[in-house]
Amino acid sequence: MGDEADIGVLREFLEEKLKDIPHCYGEHGDCGIGKEYKGEANDWGTKGWEKGVSLLEFGSELALELVENKDKLGISDEYKKNVMFYADRYTHLFLNQISSLLDEVDFYLMEGVGRLAYRIAKDRRPSVSDNKILSTINPIVKSIVEQTKRKIREEVEALVMEGKL
């Protein structure tokens, strides 16, 4: 946590810079006067949100540090690898910790294909609600992921059979 005075100064700075953007970040678009972001315990659950905040704080610190040191990434003793390495390690290690709950590969494929499909749909139909987009594209995403896994499996097995692997 930071000093309350510093946080206040930062909040004022950000509010001034963001005032012309037509969206109320942290309130899911609900721009009531005097609203302050209350968190996402309704979606995450109270304990889930408490832990989520800690994860987000750490992620923010890491992200800021990487951005501030972008010129050192991959070329210094302080940051020996590029940004892709740090992003991969951050997500892989967390997913590895919960591997008894989900498969990492399935997660990456579902997220990658799903986020691309969502972005395409949102770009084409920005006024459609997120829930409608997600519920509509979800069966398509699942089908594409299964087809992708099957195709990759076939191609890798062919390489093995040919002795190339």
Which pLDDT score is estimated for 22? Answer: 64
**What is the SS3 assignment for 164?**
coil
Distances (CA, A) of 97 to 10, 94, 101: 34, 5, 9
Which pLDDT score is estimated for 126? Answer: 92
**What is the SS3 assignment for 115?**
helix
Could you tell me the pTM of the whole model? 0.70
Which pLDDT score is estimated for 11? Answer: 82
* Domain residue ranges of the chain, discontinuous segments joined by +: 1-38, 46-101, 102-165
Which pLDDT score is estimated for 13? Answer: 86
Which pLDDT score is estimated for 48? Answer: 95
Q: What spatial distance separates the first Cα and last Cα of the chain, rounded to whole Å?
A: 51
DSSP code for 162: T
Measure the CA–CA gap between 142 and 117, rounded to whole angstroms: 11
Which pLDDT score is estimated for 78? Answer: 96
Averages of pLDDT over runs of 10 residues in the chain (165 residues) are 75 79 61 68 91 92 93 96 96 95 96 97 94 95 97 98 96
